Chains A and B, each alone.
Chain A
């Protein structure tokens, strides 16, 4: 196979995953949330249990008028949704699905790359917030900035712990080095990474920047139509990315409870990602939004010290072995 065919195939596969998996997660969220609240959720779109609800939503969003407020900073305002969505697409490139190179682009510094690219999210939020020329958007954006910058620290520290344990920054390399007993060893790091990840994608209970009961819709207030849909899609892709990262770093990626990793590796990865995504949705239904001060307290007084302690533990075990 020539290089370029392989390249096109890999990129197409990532784009396909990027377009389908978030919709799947979105549909699951509709249904799981509904049933957790004793409802049915969408039932009509697509005739069978509303399976086409998100497609219908997409068609609706496309039909809507694309409004840019007069006072808005036009180019920045229009660019922000794309900046929100694109980093997640790039992250998907380096996430390994299975063993022996079943990854779009294996990078030796994959973890470093992922963390830095996910960090771009805060730029898009600030762009949307400032460019909207709207006080609710601005407040939401400032909250988001404070939150994302704060939670970046435990997020990175927890990831650093597992990288140190594995002795590599390559994501396939980390999965390769992963052993089941790491579940115990790296458990605090996993919890910290998961919680900080929730905050990074601004999912409830960390949706203070959006906080629809106080800020209308935070930094997304002025957005309509397709651009708004991009932000919503970015949230779903965010779930996928956090689920995939948690899977790869802490849950052993393609490694299953019994052999056949070479054949069924991709399935194990997908199952684990789905499980983590379910937990993310579950958290949204079960827990109310954290207040701004609670949010910062959790980050700086709980997660950061815990992450540092985890680093010490990782080093201690690593040296002892």
Chain B
């Protein structure tokens, strides 16, 4: 024992007393909603109109929790030589009991049909109820927050520079 005996005890007493006088950091969750950080991954929202049934999300999903089904429809475009074909979404389910919230489907979607929503209160008593169909996924869209503002000191988005280039050229 090189140190003064009881030094550790005095330190411990001081720290605990100091902590006691400070405000507690606890948030009473169900009473006060939590402050979620930006880009929180709560649930995945689907904008059905943007989906072209390209199946990229279903194929890239690491645990295959996206189930997609569709059929083709003929669309008569006035003035066109022949009818166009269009994919119509019949089923778009995400099984949140399998989903690991990696967000690859959202990254990979070329038409911005999938978004992260910070809503997290969708626990169920039955695991089968965690399979959200396209109506339920569509309901989450209104909870999607606007994208965070661009960093003022950051590089401009690729699209912006491209647009500026075409403007200068034209």
Contacts and interface: CB of A to CB of B under 8 A. Distances in A.
Interface of A: 32, 34-40, 43, 282-283, 285-287
Contact of A287 (B12, B20, B24, B28): B12
A32 B9 contact: no
A282 B15 CA distance: 11
Interface in B1-46: 8-9, 12-13, 15-17, 19-20, 22, 24-26, 28
Contacts of B24: 34-35, 38-40
B28 A36 contact: no
A37 B19 contact: yes
Contacts of B8: 287
B19 A40 contact: no
Contacts of B15: 286
Contact residues of A: prevailing secondary structure? helix
A135 to B, nearest CB: 33
B26 A40 contact: yes
A285 B16 contact: yes
Contacts of A39: 24, 26
26 contacts: A34-B24, A35-B24, A36-B16, A36-B17, A36-B19, A36-B20, A37-B16, A37-B19, A38-B24, A38-B25, A38-B26, A39-B24, A39-B26, A40-B24, A43-B28, A282-B13, A282-B16, A282-B17, A283-B13, A285-B16, A286-B9, A286-B12, A286-B13, A286-B15, A287-B8, A287-B12
A283 B20 CA distance: 13
Interface of B: 8-9, 12-13, 15-17, 19-20, 22, 24-26, 28
Contact residues of B: prevailing secondary structure? helix
Nearest to B21: A35
A285 B11 CA distance: 12
Contacts of B19: 35-38
B49 to A, nearest CB: 45
Nearest to B11: A286
Given A32-B20, A282-B13, 14 more contacts: A34-B24, A35-B20, A35-B24, A38-B25, A39-B24, A39-B26, A40-B28, A43-B28, A282-B16, A282-B17, A283-B13, A285-B16, A286-B16, A287-B12
Contacts of A34: 24
A39 B22 CA distance: 10
Contacts of B9: 286-287
Nearest to B13: A286
B13 to A, nearest CB: 5
B2 to A, nearest CB: 17
A36 B19 CA distance: 5
| 7 tightest Cβ-Cβ pairs between the two chains A and B | A286-B12, A36-B16, A40-B26, A35-B20, A36-B20, A286-B13, A286-B16
A130 to B, nearest CB: 34
A37 B20 CA distance: 7
A34 B26 CA distance: 10
A34 B25 CA distance: 11
Contacts of B22: 38
A32 B26 CA distance: 15
Contacts of A283: 13
B67 to A, nearest CB: 41
A124 B12 CA distance: 32
Nearest to B26: A40
Contacts of B13: 282-283, 286
Contacts of A285: 12, 16
B157 to A, nearest CB: 42
Contacts of A32: 20
A278 B22 CA distance: 18
A34 B16 CA distance: 10
